[in-house]
Amino acid sequence: MKNGLRFVVSVLFISSLCVVFLPREGMGKEGYAGTASCVVCHKEQQKAYEAHAHAGVTGKWAEEGQEKGIGCESCHGPGKAHADLGANALQDLKKNKGDMKILWRNNNKNDEFCMPCHRLTDNDNILLAGDYLIKYGQEYSELSRSKKAQFKVTCGACHDPHLTVQNRVGIKRKCLDCHKGKFAIEIKIPEMSKLTCEACHMPKAVTKETGTRVNADYIKGEHFAHVFGISVDPAYTLNDGTDHISLTKEGLGRLTVEMTCYACHKTGVSPDMPRDRLIEAAKKIH
């Protein structure tokens, strides 16, 4: 009887291992294990992933074999060899600081793994824009056309790729974490010091369609811009006439006062001012 019970327990144990390590449905291309295999061990990452916008993505960007969701291997690369090693072998490798058999896309740790999804063209000198707002889905290209890129600031410098940005949970570094010491920026107009950096430099100036016309002067987008710089050139217009954002002689994109200052000064939050006065005031803020 005892031998029979041991046999049943052994069969159940071996079966459970098969459930964990056998290929999952929707594994996709050769060398890929599929997100369903990753989350067997990576429980904390699974919880974060389920709350992330990446989990709800549908259409051509969804992981192969799944109806929706950008999978773990979309960024980390093929993980079948990693999963096939099993938990014990991986722990031994970790202790010995050996090869964990899984890498970030392109074997680097910059923002290249964000690039395939977060741009709309293959040319980062091209940033699509309408007359008043930037087109949605170009965060990588926006950053590339900002001064931040010249200082090697990457997506991962501010964003935790595993955590949602809702309620700022996934924001691991804020503006003032870097803009201090020799990089500190003085705000010369006292009233402006009450605002956050993002209020002006990351306005809702990005849209999937045409934005929302708040009033005759101001059109609001749905998403935060990642261009950061604001033009104080009266002749600067967002659209260069070809539905691309206008670039400065340094090759940088710029936000306009219509996208930034108007959000307060044309909506009743702050005193109304004409465009030329707002440009002059913007020159004096920093």
Q: Are 27 and 34 in contact (CB under 8 A)?
A: yes
Distance, in Å, from the CA atom of 237 to the CA atom of 228, rounded to the nearest integer, reads 16
Q: pTM of the full predicted structure?
A: 0.79
Burial of residue 229 (CB within 10 Å: 0-12, 13-18, 19+) is middle
Per-residue pLDDT at 97 exceeds 50: yes
Per-residue pLDDT at 129 exceeds 80: yes
Q: State both tokens at 166.
A: 């809702």
Summarize pLDDT for 134-156 with one digit per residue, the tens: 999 999 999 999 999 888 888 88
Q: State both tokens at 223.
A: 């998403």
Residue 100's pLDDT band (cuts 50, 70, 90):
low
Summarize pLDDT for 41-50 with one digit per residue, the tens: 888 888 888 8
For range 278-283, the mean pLDDT:
96
Query: Which residues share a beta bridge with 135?
Result: 207
Model pLDDT, residue 110: 53
